[in-house]
Structure formats: structure tokens, C-alpha cells
Amino acid sequence: MSHRLPPLPGEWIDRSQRIEFTFEGDRLWGYAGDIITSALWASGRRTLGRSFKYHRPRGILSLANHDVNVLVQHGQQLNLRADVTPIAAGMVLSAVNTNGGVRSDRNSVLDFFSPFLPVGFYYKAFHNRRWFPFWERLIRNISGLGAVDVSTPHLRTAKRYDFCQVLVIGAGVAGLAAAIAAAEAGAEVVLVDENPRVGGSGCYQLGADDRQAEQVQALVQAVQGCDRIRVYTSTVAAGYYADHWVPLVEPDRMTKLRAKAVIMANGAYEQPAVFRNNDLPGVMLASAAQRLIYRYAVKPMQRAVVFTANRDGYRAALDLAKHGVEVRAIVELRSHLTASELTQAVTAQGMPIYLGHCLYEAQASPAQDGVAAAVVCPVAANGEPQPQFRQTIACDGIVMSVGWAPAANLLYQAGAKLRFDESLQQFVPDWLPPGIFACGRVNGVYNFQQKLQDGKRAGLAAAAFLGYAVTPTAAHSVWLGDRTESPSHPWPIIEHPAGKNFVDFDEDLQYKDFPNAIQEGFDNIELLKRFTTVGMGPSQGKHANMNALRILAKITGKTPGEVGTTTARPFFHPVPMSHLAGRGFSPERHTPLHERHAALNAKFMLAGMWRRPEYYQRPGKRREECILAEANAVRHGVGLIDVGTLGKLELHGPDAAEFLERVYTGRFRNLKVGMSRYALMLDESGVVIDDGVVARFSPEQFYFTTTTGGATAIYRELSRLNTLWQLDCGLVNLTGAQAAVNLAGPDSRAVLAKLTDLDLSGAAFPYLGVRAANVAGIPARLMRVGFVGEWGYEIHVPAESAPALWDALMAAGADWNITPFGVEAQRLLRLEKGHVIVGQDTDGLTTPREANLTWAIKMEKPFFVGQRSLQAIAQRPLKQILVGFMLDPNYTGYPPQECHLVIDGNDIAGRVTSVAYSPTLSRYIGLAYVKPELAALGTTFSIRLSDRSLVTARVSPTPFYDPDNQRQQETVLTTLQEVSI
């Protein structure tokens, strides 16, 4: 049988479009505009989901985007909220977390075992060390909600930024009024609502009063006609972050909006009454029944009992009756009632009012999937039910309207202070941070006309805050009127000896769980939350926290205000990871020569964000062979490496030399123009953090490099120091703007000579000299460096000229068989030369003394970063020192690897930091930290491999190769060139 009502004005469904879908294997249909829940309810389905712990049947509770007992799986989409997800043709849906389907969930046996499973039961059992893994597997098997499908693709959801002057969150009556008022005062407004249509409760909590609906329509039209208001519907303001930064989560996008002021018109959550079986399908909040009727034209039930303690319950009764529901009783929790037009209207329609009564329990239908009757009884003055006077009223639905809790999550996140208003029985804003405003129900204002006024007031207050001229009296920052409706009952909680009176529907917590937890000592709200898990389910306690708080307050003899609330954290509703991740931002940096490397079959490796050629693949050759060939080319001919990833900084100004003296350990004031010098940087604790080369191009102009990995951090730190010290110099980061290559090998000078007019003789351009000159017509900076241990030039050019430079060098070098080489060959060559790599041969605590870098320290300088620490460290015995080592030339076993330990007896005595087979020396060489006792030249020590075997190494002098720097001498170079020609 269909439960669809005749067409209603303003309904959200389109009856011209029938949409078929499948739920739990059954073919069903609904109309376009239906959500899953409304389509299911219309087709007569009542058990829509199963509860988290006891697997009890559940139906509609709030129908307000937090019916988290009705989560469905649709293919790869899990935990879809059926009360907000529109149906689509061909959907194949199933309820989550059932064992054998929602109708006959085999795990519902847990409901019968519930006496064994009291609050926190899992802390009290299963912890025998031997048996825990067994129980844990069992628990993990039945826990969780929906299932994740590991074949789901990586969704890349769009993100965008937006800005406005006034953001209004919530397009209910107050929010609409606020938006209009702010816009009319001149502000640019964004209005956000999570529903597909605006109007909020103004469109469904009617009390059969059509005039209210007309007023709301007028507001909606005013908003639509105002070009200063932009409206986001189906959009959740998911959180509030500092400085009015609000993520707006739309179905297929996230907009990050920065506002100048925010009006919180988030409304309130209707709160359930706590009574036995209040979770049966067919027991729902009054607002849920009204939404079913006015949005989806679905009849919530045939015969209803309304349990209420406020005016909204009477409105709901009238709405139900108007649409054909027989209201069999209004059970009024309050014992006194002032007659009003609402009570008169329900009485006139013959609905009996049971004054001072409570709903004691709902009786289940024989199939346990719905309501058969409501058992009501009087309530004593102390709030206790008197079941000896109970009456049973047959019905198929129970509607609850006993109170509200403010949707104040975002207000709390914004730093608002709320106080508990006793007469209203609600937390209301007491103090609001600058630029934050609140109106409507979240502000404790429930009367329709007052909501209009409160919205207008907040809108004007926000406009005034932004400097628009408004009448000051109209723009109070808080509501000054009375709050004539007091909709929340202080104790809508009915104890029952048989329990199953649920407080938290997400987590299946019954009333008794709370006194029991409090008895165990969890007697403040934060501890109570953690022990019982109240409010920790997917709805984050939207219809549980207030009742839990009331229970705690009552038992501990405090007021709800004294008990307080738990911290409200983002998100308001859960947000998909795809929306938060967006398209992702993991930039990959390429040097301007990347295409050249790719064309040469480079194998790339990661170096921070950069991709660098590890080596160039030669046809049919193994990795090691390729690397050795590249290294050989540099030693005996000429090689070319892209070093553009180095940090490249320029420093100008009268104090430039002074700045360098302070940040580096060496002397730079006396560095001659046209020369360069190795530079070592420490942190304040004297630890080595970076190194590079400083070149002086004029008295007040230095150009210097940092390590690839350190480039960003060093620039940031130097900028900080420059700001701090106020020296007269300016720092420019040229890392991305400049490209650099190192042309190295005995033939490098001959190659370069073909491309420049610069005098390249050793006398004119000596080792460590720097020059500015044209290379292949490109303005370049040249530095004679020796990192790989051969005659060579680092050539720095503007990034856009780098490919032309590379091509020119490759062409000019063709006669010498110029060979591009990668990072691995460079590592090997520098190791032969005994150069350390900061970060590989040093770690987070390495001092210059340990790394054998004291030669680069000028302690006699008045100051440099780390100097004071070095003085203290000098007083301490040295724990380890970096030494060179060699293996026996005949060693044929597995080579040691970097970070294998040096072992002395049974103790760790150091570690290997670099190791490689040296083609030049025909044996394995490396660098290792060893304790000082093992550091003398010629000492042997043991390195332990991964398979625990030991290899003997001998401490050797470094550099291993060309210890006297002969290769930088012109006479030697000339000889070498003759040989190679």
C-alpha cells in the first residue's frame, strides 16, 4: 500500500518522474526529489536499518541529516545517510552493518544478550592475555558500519575559494530575515543551507497555519530577488575556523569561504523523549513527521499518539490531523497548560489531551518492526512515572516533541560563550566574538514572529559591524526581547525497569547506562562521554548529548549549566575525504633540463620535491655498470651534471659580508672578489645543518649555494635572521630562477673553451675562482669547483637559457665524448674525494668536530650561529668521529650498506654513512662514524651486515683519491689532456 498523500503545495517531489531503485533486494520506486528514506517509507517499509550494538530495527528518528541508524551502502559509497540522499534511477541499496539483511539480521541476537553487555562491558572482559586475540577478532568482525570497496578509484573533487561580507549559515526563517536585512543595509551576503530548498522549519512546522507558509514564501522571494545575496543550497557549513574561514561542503565540491562576519542561524535539533522502545520504527520526532508530510507528501502513520511538552507538539498534531492521520491522544508531560489557540484547535478536533502524563513505553507489533500501541501513565510531581495507572492506546506511530537543543556547534567553534537559560531550558549565546552573530532557535528564539525580528536584528548588527549605516537601536548584538516560548522540558526522561529506553541512538545507550557509569566514577561530562561513548557516534550526539547532560546533572545534583558541554569540534556533518583532499597538492619540481634528461633515458629519483637523474640508462647495461661508466667518463674525459636543484641565493648590500660571517662558520669578509669559499652552517646547538659555496662577485654582492634538501628551510631561516638582525643587506632566492650544471673532468676546459672568450688558464681563472662571462652567448656565472675531484666548472645561467646551454655543451663536448652523469656517479666521485654530504654523512646531532669539518670553523670570529654551543661541546669528550675506511681489495662478499653498524665486541661502536665500490681504487671505500678509540689510521674495525656477519674494514686517510689536489693544477691537467687526446 502506498503511503503517499495527495499533492501538497510546496512539496519537494516531482510526481511526473517515477524513479525505480532496489533496497535490500526489493524493487521499489519513488518520485524525483524523494530521499531514500521518504521513498522507503512511502512504499511501506518500516525497518530501514539496524542499530550499532544490539542490531535493533530502526526507522525514522529525525529525518534531518542525522538519522544515522539508517545508513545505506550504494556500491562503492558507504554510510550514506538515507534521510538526505536523493534517490536515483537504478540505485542498488542495502542497509549497513547487518548479518543477513535488514529484515532478519542474525546479529539481532545481541539484543537478547544486552543484559550481559552493560555500559563499558568491553573494559570488563576479554582481556586474558591468551584469549584476547580471539575475542578481538570476533569483535572486529562484528564492528564497523558500511564496508569500504578497495577498488574505489581516487576521486579528485574540485575545490574553490569564495569571499563575502556576511555569511549567513542556515536559511530558515531567522536566516532568511538576517540575509535580507544585511543585504538591504548594503552588505554582500552568502546564505547557506544544507537542504535543497530554503525556508527551514518555516515550511513544515506549520500547525496547519497556511499564513505562515505564505510569509515564508515572501521571504524566499525577497532573497531570490536580491542581487546582493548568493544562496548555496544542499551545502553544509562543515566547521568554523579562525578568522571567519568556513568550508562549504556541496555534493560535488568544497568551497572555502572567507567572510567578514558570520551570522549563525543554524537552528536547533529536536530532542527525543527517553522511554522504553523509543527506538521502534514508527516512533519519530514531530519535526520528522512534519518533514515527511510537507516535503515528500508521505503519510508518517495512520494512527498517532503525540507525546509532547511544548507548543510544537500541538502544531504537529494539527499537521498530522490535517493530512489524514488519526491523532488518538496528545500525551502532555507538563501538568499545567494554559489554554491557547493551539490547545483549543486540537480539542475542537476531538483529540484527547492526557495532561501530566508520559509515554511509558511503546509496544512493538508482533513482527517487532513497528509500533502496535503506546502505553501512557501519569507522572508524579518528582517526574517519576506511575505505571500502576497505565493505559494502552493502540496506534501505529508515536510522535515526540519534548524539546530542542541548539545547533551551536559552529558557535562553540567560533569561541562563543553560552550560558544555560533555566526558563528556556536551553544553552543560549552569552558572549559572541567580534564579527559573530546568532539568531533564531540557536539564539533561543522560537516564536515565528520573533524569529523574523531576531533575524533582522542580527542582519543589521552584522551590517553595522561592517560599517554600513543602520539604525543603532535595530542592530543590537544580542536578542533583547523575551523568549515567549519555552519549548524544552527539563526532564523528558522516563525510567523503566525493563530498560531499552534509549538516550543515544547512534551508540545504543540506554538510560541505565548513565547512572551506572556515574556510579563507576565517570561523573563529569568529559569522562562520562569517554566511558559511555555518548555523542561519539556518526551524529556526534546531536540528539543524545542534551539528554545525557540532563541525566548527569540530575544525578550529581547540578544544573545543566554547571555540568557544561563537551568540546564541539569540526565537523558539523561528516565530510568525505575526497572533498577535503580536493585534487591534492603534492607538487613535483623539474629542473629546466628535465626533458633533456628524459630524452637521454635518465632514471629519476626523488630529492625533496625534485626529480633528479639517478643515472642514465645505457642499453643492455645494469644500473651499477651505468654508474661506473659515468664516473669513469668524469675521471678520464668530461662529464656534465645538472645541479640546478641546489639552493641559489644572492645577497646584496653594505652588510652582506657581515651577514655571512654570522650565519656561516668561516670567514667571508676577507674573501676576494672573484673567489669562492666552502661554507658550513650550524644551528644554535652547534649541529651541522647545511653547506655550500659562497662566491663574491663584487664587494657588496655575494652569490651562494645551499644543499638541495636544505634550500627552502635555509632561505626561510636566513630571511628570519636578516629581519631579526636588521643588517643593511637584502637576500634574494634564485633557486628556481637560475639553472646550474657542473662540467667536470680533465677535458672540461677544452670543451668550455669552445663556447667562451673567457681566459680559462689556471692563472687567469684559478681553482675556486668565480667569473661572469658569456657561455654560448648566454650570460653566465662560472665557478671553478672540485666537488667530484676533477678540474671543472659550475655554470649558472637563467633557467630559461638552460636547455640552450646544455645543448651547446653537449655539442661542444661531442669530440671528447662528453657524458651526462647522475646523482649516483656524483656520490661515488665525491666519496673518492672524501667530501661529506650533509644529511647523509651527518645526522640531527652531528657536530663539526665529529664530521671532521673543524677546518671550516673560525672560532676566533666574534660571533656565528652555533659558536657558543661549540665552545661548550669542546669541553666534552668526543663520542664518535667520521673516518674513511677501505675493505680488503680481495673482498668478494656482500658489501656493507649505509647505516650498517660498526661493532666492537658486543657494543655498537658507530655506523657506516657512505659506502661504494671505487673503480679508481678497485675496492670498497666508505665513510663511517666510529668511537675515537677506533679512529687511528690503520685501525681495523668490524661492520655488521644485515645477515649478522662481520666484515673487517681498515681506517684509511681521506681523500682516497688525489689527496694533494693535483688534479686542480694546470700542469697536471695539461698532461692528462695530452694523454686523453
Partner 1 sequence: MPLNLLKFALSKAHPEPAMFTPRDRLKPSYDAVIIGAGGHGLAAAYYLARDYGMTNVAVLEKGYLGGGNTGRNTTIIRSNYLTPEGVKFYDESVRLWQDLSQEFDLNLFYSNRGHFTLAHTDASLRTMRWRAEVNKHFGIASELVGPEEIQKACPQMDVSCGGKAPVLGALYHAPGSIARHDAVAWGYGRGADQRGVEIHQQTEVFGIQTKAGKVTGVQTSKGEIATEKVLCAVAGSTPRLLHGLGLRSPLYIHPLQAMVSEPMKPWLDPIIVSGSLHVYVSQTARGELVMGASLDPYELHSTRSTLDFVEGLCAHMLELFPFLSHVKIVRQWAGMADMTPDFAPIMGKTEIEGFYLDAGWGTWGFKATPICGKTMAYTLVHDRNHDLIQDFSLDRFKTFALVGEKGAASVGH
Binding residues for partner 1 restricted to 700-759, rule: CB under 8 A: 709
Contact between 878 and partner 1 by CB under 8 A: the answer reads no
Bond prior to 571 in cis (omega within 30° of 0): yes
Contact between 523 and partner 1 by CB under 8 A: the answer reads yes
CA dihedral 809, 812, 814, 816 (to 10 degrees): -100
Edge to edge, the sheet with strand 371-378 lists: 357-364, 371-378, 391-394
Would you say 558 or 667 has its CB closer to partner 1? 558
Contact between 150 and partner 1 by CB under 8 A: the answer reads yes
Query: Contacts with partner 1 in 250-279 (CB under 8 A)?
Result: 256
Contact between 367 and partner 1 by CB under 8 A: the answer reads no
Residue from 208, 581, 629, 721 in contact with partner 1 (CB under 8 A): 581
Closest approach of Cβ 522 to partner 1, in Å? 8
Query: Contacts with partner 1 in 37-56 (CB under 8 A)?
Result: 52
Contact between 895 and partner 1 by CB under 8 A: the answer reads no
Contact between 134 and partner 1 by CB under 8 A: the answer reads no
Closest approach of Cβ 908 to partner 1, in Å? 6
Contact between 521 and partner 1 by CB under 8 A: the answer reads yes
Closest approach of Cβ 514 to partner 1, in Å? 11
Residue from 9, 90, 115, 350 in contact with partner 1 (CB under 8 A): 115
Query: Contacts with partner 1 in 203-222 (CB under 8 A)?
Result: none
Closest approach of Cβ 437 to partner 1, in Å? 21
Total chain residues near partner 1 (CB under 8 A)? 101
Residue from 901, 942, 972, 980 in contact with partner 1 (CB under 8 A): 901
Would you say 796 or 911 has its CB closer to partner 1? 911
Contact between 899 and partner 1 by CB under 8 A: the answer reads yes
Which positions ≥6 away from 822 have C-beta within 8 Å? 602, 603, 612, 613, 614, 615, 616, 627, 630, 641
Locate 747 and state its grid cell.
Answer: 677535458
Contact between 942 and partner 1 by CB under 8 A: the answer reads no
Contact between 239 and partner 1 by CB under 8 A: the answer reads yes
Give ∠ CA 666-670-673 in degrees, rounded to 5: 115
Closest approach of Cβ 145 to partner 1, in Å? 5
> Among residues 492, 543, 500, which one has the least CA distance to residue 308?
492
Q: Are 64 and 76 in contact (CB under 8 A)?
A: no
Give ∠ CA 762-765-767 in degrees, rounded to 5: 70
Locate 704 and state its grid cell.
Answer: 651562494
Q: What are the residue ranges of helices labelled H in 431-524?
A: 448-465, 513-519
Contact between 588 and partner 1 by CB under 8 A: the answer reads yes
Query: Contacts with partner 1 in 378-437 (CB under 8 A)?
Result: 413
Spatial separation of the C-alpha atoms in residues 813 and 640, rounded to whole Å: 9
Contact between 245 and partner 1 by CB under 8 A: the answer reads yes
**CA–CA distance from 856 to each of 101, 147, 677, 678, 721 (Å)?**
74, 60, 10, 8, 21
Residue from 188, 209, 326, 520 in contact with partner 1 (CB under 8 A): 520
Closest approach of Cβ 40 to partner 1, in Å? 21
Locate 358 and state its grid cell.
Answer: 508520559
Closest approach of Cβ 904 to partner 1, in Å? 12
What DSSP assignment string belongs to 319-335?
HHHHTT-EEEEEEE-SS
Contact between 154 and partner 1 by CB under 8 A: the answer reads yes
Contact between 898 and partner 1 by CB under 8 A: the answer reads yes
Contact between 94 and partner 1 by CB under 8 A: the answer reads no
Contact between 226 and partner 1 by CB under 8 A: the answer reads no
Which positions ≥6 away from 663 have C-beta within 8 Å? 681, 718, 721, 864, 865
Contact between 621 and partner 1 by CB under 8 A: the answer reads no
Residue from 94, 343, 386, 578 in contact with partner 1 (CB under 8 A): 578
**CA–CA distance from 19 to each of 183, 338, 501 (Å)?**
40, 47, 37
Residue from 16, 388, 473, 586 in contact with partner 1 (CB under 8 A): 586
Contact between 804 and partner 1 by CB under 8 A: the answer reads no
What DSSP assignment string belongs to 876-909?
SPP--EEEEEEE-TT--SPPP-TTPEEEETTEEE
Helix (H, G, I), strand (E, B) or coil at 387: helix
Amino acid, single-letter form, for residue 143: S
Contact between 363 and partner 1 by CB under 8 A: the answer reads no
Q: Are 942 and 951 in contact (CB under 8 A)?
A: yes
Contact between 762 and partner 1 by CB under 8 A: the answer reads no
Helix (H, G, I), strand (E, B) or coil at 599: helix
Query: Contacts with partner 1 in 905-934 (CB under 8 A)?
Result: 908, 911
Query: Contacts with partner 1 in 595-614 (CB under 8 A)?
Result: 605-607
Contact between 843 and partner 1 by CB under 8 A: the answer reads yes
Contact between 845 and partner 1 by CB under 8 A: the answer reads yes
> Among residues 581, 837, 810, 795, which one has the least CA distance to residue 688?
837
Contact between 540 and partner 1 by CB under 8 A: the answer reads yes
Residue from 18, 26, 132, 957 in contact with partner 1 (CB under 8 A): 132
Closest approach of Cβ 709 to partner 1, in Å? 8
Would you say 266 or 488 has its CB closer to partner 1? 266
Locate 790 and state its grid cell.
Answer: 676533477
Helix (H) or strand (E) holding 49: strand 49-50
